[in-house]
Amino acid sequence: MAPIHDHPGEHAAADPVRLLAIRDTPLSVDEVFRAVGDDAAGGIALFVGTVRNHDGGQDVGALGYSCHPSAEDELRRVAEKVAADFPVRALAAVHRVGELAVGDLAVVVAVACPHRAEAFDACRKLIDDLKHEVPIWKHQRFSDGTEEWVGAC
């Protein structure tokens, strides 16, 4: 019997990037989860970022996201790097732009890998790199009338 690690399902898929988008419409956890379905994946890690009602000790009254025209290309670059560094069977990432309300989904990412530890690690890398490298900016407006722009995501 061949060792488990020699099975094709233990390796990255040929084209694991299944869904990438930056949208001005509400996001769907179900859509992202369905996009990463893969019979060879033993673990799917999903991260959902939501708009919270506070930041830095201040009440958030409203916020919006905007992005540079290159944002989707940068998102693809980040996704492809994660897929190259981990045995990713499937990967998806969507980010919202425009005006959002407290509780709205701002970002949903998911990664499917042969095992759960790989899925967790790849998903964390995907969201962390998205936040640091994709040119998406958050404009927060606080209830006291002040506002701030946050670098990326």
Please write the tens of the pLDDT for every residue from 54-103.
999 999 988 999 999 999 999 999 999 999 999 999 999 999 999 999 99
pTM beyond cutoff 0.85: yes
Q: What is the pLDDT of residue 141?
A: 95
Question: Closest Cα partner for 152 from 137, 139, 142, 140?
Answer: 137
Whole-number pLDDT of residue 98: 98
What pLDDT score was predicted for residue 10?
A: 82
Q: What is the SS3 assignment for 138?
A: strand
Sign of CA dihedral 26, 126, 81, 7: negative
Query: Please, which residues bridge with residue 97 across strands?
Result: none
- Is residue 100 classed as helix, strand or coil in its secondary structure? strand
**For the segment 114-131, what is each residue's pLDDT rounded down to a tens digit?**
999 999 999 999 999 999
Task: Supply the pLDDT for residue 4.
Answer: 55
Above 60 in pLDDT, residue 1? no
pLDDT bucket at 5, cuts 50 / 70 / 90: low
9-51: pLDDT as tens digits: 787 778 999 999 999 999 999 999 999 999 999 999 999 999 9
pLDDT of amino acid 2: 43
> In this model, does residue 153 exceed pLDDT 80?
no
In the predicted structure, residue 132 carries a pLDDT above the cut 80: yes
pLDDT of residue 8: 75
Q: Decide: residue 16, CB within 10 A, 0-12 exposed, 13-18 middle, 19+ buried.
A: buried
